[in-house]
Amino acid sequence: MDKLSNNQIAWRAAQDIADGAYVNLGIGFPEKVAQYQPPGRHAIFHTENGILNFGEAPAPGEEDWDLINAGKKAVTLRPGAAFFHHADSFAMVRGGHLDVAILGAYEVAENGDLANWSTGPKGVPAVGGAMDLVHGAKRVAIITDHVTKDGQPKLLRRCTLPLTGVGCVTRVYTSLAVIDIADGRFMLREKLPSLGLEAIQRLTGAELHRDGPVADLIVPEL
């Protein structure tokens, strides 16, 4: 089956970040989004451990391990970057000062509920800052494969795992499609040209709706 790579999903999500937006990227896969900002746009990236306006990863061997993001990866600083206390960082999040948060997911429900942590044998030990981000950011987007490694849908009628947030997700970028969440429904906006509507529906655990033409999901080779 044709599907987008993680880099291609991250590229597509990056195209919707406005110039000058204040953005938090989740640990791991979502961090890739920073690599694909469109030319002429400059997002201001925030990390929960207390940096605003950090830049690209340093070259190997040039890391300053006092400069890391929330995922403990080395970063660089852009002109005008700021440091602040962890509590101030979460005050920014909870105060509604972030334009967008882009996170990964185990499950997303058609009403916008998100589950992106698990207490299972391979799960993370706690929800962390994600529960603050999903209700503090003005827009919450998810990047994820459309199905699990076992081929089961990740987009569902209702989440089965512990929730990170309730009714918080507005858009999902998957390996097959771009889907908005509106009025408690999955609204299909874009899909891979090689896949028909019925094929995508079979891989989705809730009904996909349309309110107009579905655009082709076109991304570069990455």
Residue 59 neighbours by CB under 8 Å, 6+ apart: none
Pairing of strands 139-143, 171-173: parallel
- Look up 207 and say whether it is catalytic: no
Nearest to 187 by CA among 167, 214, 205: 214
Entry field: residues in the chain: 222
Q: Tell me how far apart the alpha carbons of residues 195 and 47 are, in angstroms, rounded to a whole number.
A: 37
Task: Determine phi and psi for 8, rounding to 5 degrees.
Answer: -70, -40
Helices within the chain (DSSP H only) = 6-14, 86-94, 130-136, 197-202
DSSP percent split of the chain into helix, strand, coil, nearest 5? 20, 25, 55
Catalytic residue among 31, 48, 110, 190: 48
Residue 166 neighbours by CB under 8 Å, 6+ apart: 112, 113
Residue numbers annotated as active site: 48
